[in-house]
């Protein structure tokens, strides 16, 4: 059971958020102080991720497909992570699930954005694709469903704007947990939500000792999800 809740992790009975039709798509260009992690041409900021699927592969240029201004997951090639490490950030990511869609539930357009390689904001085709509520697009995976489902049709571009406050740890002692705010296609879906710890599949979680900053990771879940226009701003967020 999730702490303080009447739900199991990935509980099929957990209520689903309302479907919301988002406004017209627009691409948010990076501000002057942003680090552009993917400009549509090169993967020079990326390497094989040390966390997640494919961890342990030799570091180096990843072999995901790059074409027509996007990068695309290549099944079997593992996750990719940033060479640079980050803590508190404002992150912008645009993604599109495959069209025509194949599979269903977690087997349809599945990927993820992992903050510090540990805390996943789920990427999934959420257009007429029922799945467990804490595993749909915009969820803090396995912990909190999104407040709404504003997903676009398969093949159309979705946007995530994420504000992440990294945890403050003293070894295994939690001084301050991580928090995340997510805007999905212009709709608030996570509102300064406290994160319980690293996100897991069908498992409860807790914080463990780790660095103050770590890689940003894009997940390879075996579906050819596309990404583009990825940029990040470092933040220095104080805590009360």
Give the start-to-end residue ranges of the domains of the chain: 35-234
19-46 residue pLDDT tens: 999 999 988 899 999 999 999 999 999 9
CATH topology of domain 35-234: Jelly Rolls (2.60.120)
Long-range interactions of 20-26: CB distance < 8 A, separation 24+: 20/148, 20/149, 20/150, 20/187, 21/150, 22/150, 22/152, 22/184, 22/185, 22/186, 22/187, 23/185, 23/186, 25/152, 25/156, 25/157, 25/159, 25/185
pLDDT band at 59 (very low <50, low <70, confident <90, very high): low
Total-model pTM: 0.93
**Mean per-residue pLDDT over the chain, rounded:** 93
The yes-or-no verdict on residue 239 having pLDDT over 80 is no
């Amino acid at each position: 059971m999730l702490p303080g809740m009447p739900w199991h992790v990935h509980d099929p009975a957990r209520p689903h958020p309302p479907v919301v039709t988002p406004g017209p798509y627009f691409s948010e260009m990076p501000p002057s102080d942003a680090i552009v992690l993917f400009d549509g041409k090169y993967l020079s900021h990326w390497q094989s991720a040390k966390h997640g699927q494919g961890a342990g592969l030799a570091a180096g240029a990843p072999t995901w497909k790059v074409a027509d201004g996007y990068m695309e997951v290549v099944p079997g090639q593992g996750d990719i992570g940033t060479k640079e490490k980050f803590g508190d950030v404002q992150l912008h990511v645009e993604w599109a699930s495959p069209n025509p869609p194949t599979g269903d539930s977690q087997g349809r357009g599945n990927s993820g954005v992992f903050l510090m390689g540990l805390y996943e904001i789920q990427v999934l085709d959420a257009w007429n694709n029922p799945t467990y509520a804490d595993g749909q697009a915009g969820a803090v995976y396995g912990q909190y469903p999104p407040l709404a489902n504003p997903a676009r049709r398969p093949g159309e571009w979705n946007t995530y704007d994420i504000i992440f406050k990294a945890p403050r740890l003293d070894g295994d002692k939690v001084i301050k947990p991580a928090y995340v705010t997510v805007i999905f296609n212009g709709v608030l879906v996570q509102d300064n939500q406290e994160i319980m710890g690293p996100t897991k599949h069908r498992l409860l979680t807790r914080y463990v000792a780790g660095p103050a900053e770590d890689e940003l990771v894009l997940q390879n879940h075996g579906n050819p999800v596309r990404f583009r226009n990825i940029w990040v701003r470092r933040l220095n967020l104080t805590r009360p």
